[in-house]
Amino acid sequence: MSKVYLVGAGPGDEGLITVKGLRLIQKADYIIYDRLINYNLLNEKKSDAKLFYVGKEGMKSSWKQEEINNLLLKCAREEGKITLRLKGGDPLVFGRGSEEALFLKEHGVSSEIVPGISSSIGGLIYGGVPTTHREVSRSFHVFTGHTMDGPAELDWENLAKMEGTLIFLMAMSNIETIANKLIAAGKNPDTKAAFIYKATRSDQRRFITTLKDAYECKCNNDIKNPSVFVIGDVVQFADDIDFFADRPLKDRTFILLRKKEFNQDFKDFLIDNKAEFLELETIKYTPIHDDAFNKALKNIEAYKYLILTSRNAVEFFFKRALELGVDFRRFYNIKIASIGQKTMKDIEAYGFKADYVSEKYTSDEMIKNITSKFEKGAKVLYPHSDKAKGNIRAALSDYDVDAFEIYKNSDEAYEKMYLEDKVYDIFFFSSSEAISFNKFYPELMSKARIYSIGPYTTKSIEALGYKVYKEAKVHDSEGMIDLVKEEINYEE
């Protein structure tokens, strides 16, 4: 039997998972996850890790707890494999983690629990509400607002007498009952209360009210789960402590589809602006092993020019050269042409300098201003993807060109994920990304704000029947970021 880890993913923001929890995601062979986790955490998994979605919403579920238990057991029976049960919040705070741990023990499987930040605490913090405060609240008490049999039956008289903070989870269908029972038991009707909806997420909402007006507040604002309901004098500090309300990109979720290694500058910008984003790597890039290309690398001195039009081309070209043991000193006579500053910097990371860099970052620009300057008849090496448009190859008819497909991009291995039905801001850095995303999520594509890196990608999107919301003026990552900066400045 293998070990099972029950890991809390925190209330929603991917940065709130523990270091230990993140390391286990990176090592796990099987990951069984819930609806409320941040999907970016799944990008940290091993390439061959298998995912199982067992999400629930309210009292509805396509997976019964018994079925989840059996799935855990089935995975755990594979010797030498690591099974991870990834839950929103903390696995033992109304997460049924203890039930799963006991079930596994009964069947001879050892488990380990990794705590997570519960929304009962973390959710309040993001709403500016402290759980305790000196001379105001010296304790806090967390309750479920719903059981399998309906509204939770609690000792309302004792609850009404408690001077600490009262926190209710999963309670939205029973707010009227909770408020009435507490007031009937003697709780001051004017006690401050608050709802924090979707804590830590881009569409988080906080509503300040009183105990007597809580149900009306809930109805008037259509507050649903997942929400935290808090009652107590600590709510008075919410406006002064709140750090999350001032976020220029609230209510928006940005989808980035490139390899996550290429998104760091974009992610840093979004994180700095407290924005929510989702990385969906629908396309996987894999090397194409070609004996003719290997022979070309081993005879690298024969070439006068090397054309690298993308960051992926740089990665797969130099990786293959290293695998073959090609001495980089043999590149001394080669001139390198590239498209874009990022591609240029990736080339520099391997110890080389791009001699020609297309300023407008398009293949047409490279043809016009770079390849046209090559010596006629010179020998050119042009490694590219299996989806290359062909215009560069066609423009090199006056040269002795060896063009090779050295990597392919495919979405065959991608498993569609459950995504909330809402309007997303989707950034497409290539035509392939647009075609692939539309294949899996046409229902989201049809309502999204679509951003395109340049004219070729725009044409592909329009050919799919969609309108581009904005196209980058500069066709690189910085140009895409500038589109969002423009909107922030406009809103300000």
DSSP H/E element including 141: strand 140-144
User: Which pair of structure tokens corresponds to residue 478?
Assistant: 């910085």
Looking only at the bridges linking them, the beta strands covering 227-231 and 192-197 are antiparallel
Region of 194 (left: φ > 0; alpha: ψ -120 to 50; beta: rest) is: beta
Helices (H), 77-112: 97-106
Q: How far apart are CA 452 and CA 425, in angstroms?
A: 11
Rounded Cα–Cα distance for residues 341 and 319 (Å): 20
Question: Could you give the angle at the alpha carbon of 364 between the alpha carbons of 362 and 365, nearest 5°?
Answer: 65
Of the listed 50, 56, 259, 389, which one is catalytic?
56
Tokens coding 383: 């490694």
What is the Cα–Cα distance from 313 to 264, expressed in whole angstroms?
19
Position 204: which residue type? Q
The active-site residue out of 13, 34, 90, 476 is: 34
Task: Specify the pairing of strand 165-169 against strand 50-53.
Answer: unpaired
Q: Which residue has the tokens 């609850």?
A: 159
Residue 260's contacts (CB-CB under 8 Å, 6 or more residues apart) are: 43, 279, 281
Full 3-state SS string of 10-41: ECCCHHHCCHHHHHHHHHCCEEEECCCCCHHH
Active site residue 480: no
Helices (H) and strands (E) in the chain, counts: 18, 25
56 catalytic? Reply is: yes
d(CA 319, CA 332) in angstroms, rounded, equals: 18
Kindly give the pairing relationship between strand 140-144 and strand 165-169: parallel
Q: How many residues does the chain have?
A: 492
CA angle 392, 395, 400 (to 5 degrees): 95
Positions marked active-site: 34, 56, 170
